[in-house]
Amino acid sequence: MDRKGQQEIVGFVLIVVLVMVALMVFLIISVRDDKGSEDSVGVSNMLDVVMRTTTGCAIVYEPDYDRFEDLFKSCFKGNSCSNLGISACDYLNQSLKDVVGSMILSDASVDSWNAEFFVKDGEGILKWSEGNCTGVSNGAQRSIVSGGKSLIVRLRICGV
């Protein structure tokens, strides 16, 4: 009787170990960096920071300043900054280049960068670039939904 209980416990432990090994293999395969992929964790984090940065543009009222993510949506809708008297696209065009440029200057290994804002499977809205890409490039992109359309913000950084 005691032997049967021990055999069941050993069998249960073996099943648990096999399931854990299978999950680890699946996790390694799904997380492994694909050589064809152009996404970079560092660039993705930088793009996340930029999207969450508060701007000086207030679309609705002051002091309700928009983040860059909201500013992209406002630019697509054709809104204006109520506190500055300029269009959201004009403000976005000026301020994004300054913000990304200052972030890039802090990294000596970066040679150049470019960013694009466009409608998925559609026309480009804005484009920024600084320098010429001569080395390895890494990139990331974010999708923003506005008015039923999928908007894409893509950032690519080139190193020396």
What DSSP string describes 82-130? TTTTEEHHHHHHHHHHHHHHHHHHT-TTEEEEEEEEEETTS-EEEEEEE
Distance from C-alpha of 41 to C-alpha of 132, rounded to nearest angstrom: 22
pTM equals: 0.68
Task: Kindly report the CATH number that applies to the domain delimited by 38-159.
Answer: 3.30.1140
Domain boundaries, the chain: 1-32, 38-159
- Give the tens place of pLDDT for each residue, 69-120: 999 999 889 999 998 889 999 998 889 888 888 877 676 667 788 888 888 8
